[in-house]
């Protein structure tokens, strides 16, 4: 039998209910902070990511799903959501209507990484971008929003890591010192870092290889090189976090894996995740628009991994079960079944979750199934009840059985009882 492709997953019930809950909570919380949804295409021209994310990033150099279209144009399945949002913002001149555009997205992303727990080749992100402001207050507000989101879905245990990686003015002197230090330590670095130390030394700070860690700790720190503007920006940002009582740790080596970041970068991690412990990553990307060939545009945003959020919820047993049906219809005999289809139609239109037993079962096996499904009530009726137009409504938890007429069944009282939790 054909199987799903390595690194992709089917999301099955009851896990899918958890996904829906995470997504709807995100929508609800983002709406409170005046974000609107944007949906961009799954594939874009390769150039958008090659330029936007950066040629020497792992994503562009080895992880993109790139293919040639029939007209020979190079296309790529989106590996991330920020570059497409910035592209769309200009393409549709969104900022004419919204001087500060607050947009969020959710959907699949594609990176050809080595699959493991919490890391897939098709994964899902929820992200948000604020375009048109370089105010550090907006950064703190987004972190406040993320904190509210995490608490609301039940992930209270998490750590916020923050850093500033400076701007194109103050970063070059730092990169100079970094390169010098890396040349001295070259022999001790992993093969990737040896390459990176020449092509993109900042990326070395991001390396996860064990033997590189003590070397990275001894390298110059960007925080000692920030110019006045970047320092003031970062201090203000931290001050806004303090004022909101948002706890954080400063991590000088936090540079993130994408090239477009400037100034503030952050990650939210969770110990519940194991090796792939980054739940959310984001930062400021004031230069991205120009890299893409657009006019200057300040931007700040983040993306969170839905799979990782769901993993934590599953591991901490915060599993959202699909709510059991409120009414199980157990018709006995063919005529009763015909009638049951109409009752089910009526009940569902009234907003009552119904299960209609399609298999002509005995009463005993129908009750066994209703029990298994944890249905709150069972409506039982056969030939005799049909002739008298009566129904037996059984409340499963108490075992109490009530005889109802056709009118009773459709009355506000009974509908209220079915909807209620008793
Ligand atoms: P990034 O776009 O690399 O900044 O990643 C942002 C977030 O997306 C990460 O913190 C993860 O939660 C999630 N993420 C990134 N890559 C993957 C992947 N391959 N599989 C699952 N989640 C991922």
Spell out the domains of the chain, with CATH numbers in brackets: 15-170+226-316 (3.30.930.10), 327-419 (3.40.50.800)
Q: Which of 108, 125, 160 to mutate to test the pocket of ligand 1 (most atoms within 8 A of CB)?
A: 125
User: What is the residue whose two structure tokens read 């987004």?
Assistant: 142
Tens-digit pLDDT profile for residues 395-419: 999 999 999 999 999 999 999 999 8
User: What is the residue whose two structure tokens read 């089917």?
Assistant: 10
* Assigned token pair, 138: 């907006």
Residue 67: pLDDT over 80: yes
Which of 87-91, 105-109, 257-261 is modeled with the greatest confidence? 105-109
The set of protein residues with a Cβ atom below 6 angstroms from ligand 1 is 80, 111, 113, 118-120, 123, 125, 257, 278-281, 303-305, 307-308
Q: What is the pTM of this model?
A: 0.88
Distance of CA 72 from the midpoint of ligand 1 (Å): 30
Confidence of residue 319 (pLDDT cuts 50, 70, 90): low
Distance of CA 119 from the midpoint of ligand 1 (Å): 7
In whole angstroms, give the CA distance from residue 386 to residue 336: 7
Strand order in the sheet with 159-164: 36-37, 101-110, 122-131, 299-305, 278-284, 262-269, 159-164, 249-250
Confidence of residue 422 (pLDDT cuts 50, 70, 90): very low
Tens-digit pLDDT profile for residues 236-284: 999 999 999 999 999 998 987 666 789 999 999 998 877 778 999 999 9
């Amino acid at each position: 039998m054909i199987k799903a492709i390595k690194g992709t997953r089917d999301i099955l019930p009851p896990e899918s209910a958890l996904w829906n809950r995470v997504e709807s909570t995100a929508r609800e919380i983002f709406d409170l902070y005046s974000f609107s949804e944007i949906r961009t295409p799954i594939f874009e021209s390769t150039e958008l990511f090659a330029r936007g994310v950066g040629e020497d990033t792992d994503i562009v150099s080895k992880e993109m799903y790139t293919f040639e279209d029939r007209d020979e144009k190079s296309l790529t399945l989106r590996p991330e959501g920020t570059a497409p949002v910035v592209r769309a913002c200009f393409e549709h001149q969104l900022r004419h209507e919204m001087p500060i555009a607050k947009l969020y997205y959710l959907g699949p992303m594609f990176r050809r990484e080595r699959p493991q727990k919490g890391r897939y080749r098709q994964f899902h992100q929820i992200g948000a971008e604020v375009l048109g402001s370089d105010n550090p207050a907006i950064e703190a507000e987004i972190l406040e929003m993320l904190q509210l989101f995490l608490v609301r879905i039940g992930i209270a245990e998490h750590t916020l890591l923050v850093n500033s990686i400076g701007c194109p003015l103050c970063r070059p002197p730092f990169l100079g010192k970094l390169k010098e230090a890396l040349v001295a330590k070259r022999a001790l670095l992993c093969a990737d870092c040896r390459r990176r130390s020449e092509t993109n030394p900042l990326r070395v700070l991001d390396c996860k290889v064990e033997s590189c860690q003590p070397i990275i700790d001894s390298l110059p720190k960007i925080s000692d090189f920030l110019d006045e503007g970047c320092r003031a920006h970062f201090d203000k940002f931290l001050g806004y976090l303090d004022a909101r009582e948002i706890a954080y740790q400063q991590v000088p080596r936090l540079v993130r894996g994408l090239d477009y970041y400037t100034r503030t970068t952050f990650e939210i991690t969770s110990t519940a995740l194991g090796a792939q412990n980054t739940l959310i990553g984001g930062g400021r990307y004031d230069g991205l628009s120009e890299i893409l060939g657009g006019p200057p545009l300040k931007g700040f945003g983040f993306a969170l991994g839905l799979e990782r959020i769901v993993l934590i919820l599953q591991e901490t047993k915060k599993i959202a079960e699909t709510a059991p049906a409120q009414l199980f219809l157990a018709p006995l005999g063919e005529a009763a079944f015909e009638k049951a289809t109409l009752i089910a139609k009526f009940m569902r239109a009234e907003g009552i979750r119904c299960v209609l037993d399609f298999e002509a079962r005995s009463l005993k096996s129908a009750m066994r199934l209703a029990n298994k499904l944890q249905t709150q009530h069972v409506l039982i009726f056969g030939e005799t009840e049909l002739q008298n137009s009566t129904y037996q409504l059984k409340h499963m938890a108490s075992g109490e059985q009530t005889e109802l007429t056709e009118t009773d069944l459709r009355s506000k009282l009974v509908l209220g009882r079915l909807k209620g939790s008793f």
